[in-house]
Amino acid sequence: MHRQLAAGFLLTICAAGISIAAETKPKPCSSAEHRAFDFWVGSWRVENPDGKLAGHNAITKSHDGCVLQENWRGRGGLTGSSLNIYDAATKRWHQTWVDSSGALLLLDGAYANNAMQLSGTHKNPDGTSGHDRITWSRLQNGRVRQIWEQSPDGKSWTVAFDGTYIPEAK
């Protein structure tokens, strides 16, 4: 009888120890690197440089905070979504963008100098390749600026999109 009580007491102590150890383990995706793009999270009105509406964008955290999910609605009817994640193994950010025009962008990059910059290449319908570089910068008053540049050769760049994200009223 005493052995059963002692064994039960020991099992209870061990189980409590395991539980305490599990609670002190850091939560996945909670590092500063995983949180570097959180400044983009929110509901936004996006304006062109001339102040005209470009569209609305909602960026939310999903999958226990490990993924940023984007849902874009452009003024002209284009819709699109992206999934954004920090890959701790490569120490790089990754974005997969898809939209209602059938476009696919696969971008990788990093956060530095108060901005997130992701880049990649894409295939054009005619079989040629193009380069994309998108930079999100923090601005004053909680705003964000996104500049999307494209290049046929990776040397000369033109601006495909320049938008200022303004927080929408809640």
Q: According to the model, what pLDDT value does residue 12 have?
A: 46
* Average pLDDT of the chain, as a whole number: 89
Q: Which residue has the higher pLDDT, 20 or 142?
A: 142
Under the banding of pLDDT at 50, 70 and 90, the label for residue 158 is very high
Query: Which tens digit of pLDDT belongs to each residue from 63-118?
Result: 999 999 999 999 999 999 999 999 999 999 999 999 999 999 999 999 999 999 99
pTM for the structure as a whole: 0.83
Residue type, 88: A
Under the banding of pLDDT at 50, 70 and 90, the label for residue 27 is confident
Mean local confidence (pLDDT), 26-40: 94
Q: Residue 3 carries which DSSP code? A: H
Under the banding of pLDDT at 50, 70 and 90, the label for residue 7 is very low
Mean local confidence (pLDDT), 52-56: 98
Q: What 3-state class would DSSP assign to 17?
A: helix
Residue 15 has pLDDT above 90, yes or no: no
Q: What percentage of the chain has pLDDT greater than the value 90?
A: 78
Pair of tokens at residue 8: 């039960």
Structural fold of domain 38-167 = Lipocalin (2.40.128)
Nearest partner of 107 among 64, 158, 148, judged by Cα: 148
Q: Residue 93: in which H helix or E strand, if any?
A: strand 92-99
SS3 assignment for 114-166: CEEEEEEEEECCCCCEEEEEEEEEECHHHCEEEEEEEECCCCCCEEEEEEEEE
